[in-house]
Structure formats: structure tokens, C-alpha cells
Amino acid sequence: MLVLALDTSTSTVTAGVVDLPESGAPVVRAQRVSAGARKHGELLMPHVLEACAEAGVALRDVDAIVTGTGPGPFTGLRVGMVTAAALGDALGTPVHGVCSHDAIAREACATRLSGNMVVVTDARRREVYWAGYDAEGYRITGPHVEAPAVLVERLAGFPSVAAAGEQAAVTGLPVIGPATPGPAGLVAVAADVLRAGTDPGPLRPLYLRRPDAVEPGARKRVSA
């Protein structure tokens, strides 16, 4: 099965073409990964097309699309999810959403950890997104959004041997890779449903915060 994997939940823009065999781990045929916190919209589709060209496939050859659903900041996260949804609609291809932290954890745990781990990414506003995982990369808690100091306090109740993600260092734990979701990790999270041919559920972004924009209130009365 040929899968297109996308993620824009972090400051990194990621696109890749991945082979998912009937059994075993996903194999990345081509990928494009660039740091660009404010260039998600500019970089994502060129990355998709470049990865397809390197892999020697056309977009119509893709059997499924997997996209990270966050947690992530509003604008960047929407770019990846909307692009995946638009491609799926245009190509008649199923689009599966997966938690971006799960993708980081699945790759990180390939190193065979001896205990729990946490994934920590930048939520801006002096906060981080984080989630806790067992040694196999399956989520136990989260994702949450909190100040780094609060996270460190919570880790006393969630003993861990390592941390991954772009903000992993705030935990004081040994840092392991990857820092951001990669194509192999994204597809690994969705592997079971992809192989089973399960219809994807609705794409739901993990913003974890209420939007800043609010409906305007009633107009103020101005006296003469």
C-alpha cells in the first residue's frame, strides 16, 4: 500500500511517500522536511510534489493519505489538515488523521525503551503540548497543554526514562529523537486501520485551546 503522509503541527513542514507492507514496519520511499514556522502554506504542496517525484509516483497512485491532527497551533495545523482533506476529495482517496505526538512516540520507541516516555512540543504562549506513552509508544495520558513548570511537577506522578519532541529538553529527562512527526511514524500509527481498509473518521484537529476570535457583542449605544 502506498501512503502519502503530511504533518504541519509543529514548526516543521513534513511530507513523505511511504510503502506500508502487509506486515512489518512502514518504509519511507521519499520525504521532504523543512523548518518553517511561518511557511507551512508555502512549503507543503511543493514538498508533496517533490516527494512524489523522487519516489517515482503520481498523486493518483496513492492509496491513502495520513495527516497529523496535532496538537498544534491553529494556523499551521490547519494547513496540513486542509491540504490532506482537499487532496483526498480531489483524488477520491481516504484521509486518516492521527495524533502527531503519537507519531513521534512510535518512532522514538523503536529504540526499545525500558520505561515510559513523554513527547513535548511547542504550544507557544510560554506553554507546551505534552503526552505520556508506554515503552511501546502507546499513549497513556494526554495530550495536554500546560506551562513547562507544571509539566515537570506532573512528571513526578508519571515516571519516565526519556523525552522526545522539539521541547523535550524542558523535562530534564534524556532527550531522544525524533523532534517532530515523520512520515514513518505517522503511517505506523494508522497502520492497523490502513491494512484493515477501515473507513476513516472525521478529521478533528487537536487544538487544546479555545480560539482567540470571538463573536462580536451587541453594538454599544451612543448617546447624542
Nearest to 12 by CA among 104, 111, 109: 104
Helix (H, G, I), strand (E, B) or coil at 24: coil
Question: Which pLDDT value is given to residue 47?
Answer: 97
What is the fold, at CATH topology level, of the domain defined by 102-171? Nucleotidyltransferase; domain 5 (3.30.420)
- Percentage of the chain lying above the pLDDT 70 cut: 93
Burial 187-221 (b: 16+ CB within 10 A, else e): bbbbbebbeeeeebeeeebbbbeeeeeeeeeeeee
Residue 211, pLDDT > 80, answer: no
So what's the pLDDT on residue 224?
Answer: 53
Per-residue model confidence (pLDDT) at position 217: 59
What is the predicted pLDDT for the residue at 213? 45
In the chain, list all ranges with CATH 3.30.420.40: 2-99+181-196
Residue-wise pLDDT tens digits, 116-129: 999 999 999 999 99
Check whether 221 has a pLDDT greater than 70.
no
Q: What is the pLDDT of residues 148-161, one digit of tens each?
A: 999 999 999 999 99
Question: For 46, which DSSP code?
Answer: H
Domain span(s) for CATH 3.30.420.200 in the chain? 102-171
pLDDT at 115: 95
> In terms of pLDDT, which residue wins out, 110 or 193?
193
Q: Would you state the CATH architecture of domain 2-99+181-196? A: 2-Layer Sandwich (3.30)
**Tens of pLDDT, residues 9-66:** 999 999 999 999 999 999 999 999 998 767 898 999 999 999 999 999 999 999 999 9
Mean pLDDT of the chain: 93
Per-residue pLDDT for 214 more than 50?
A: no
C-alpha cell at 117: 516516555
Q: Provide φ and ψ at 137, rounded to 5°.
A: 90, 20
Tell me which residue has cell 451587541: 218
pTM over 0.75: yes
Q: What is the mean pLDDT of residues 96-107?
A: 98
pLDDT of residue 59: 97
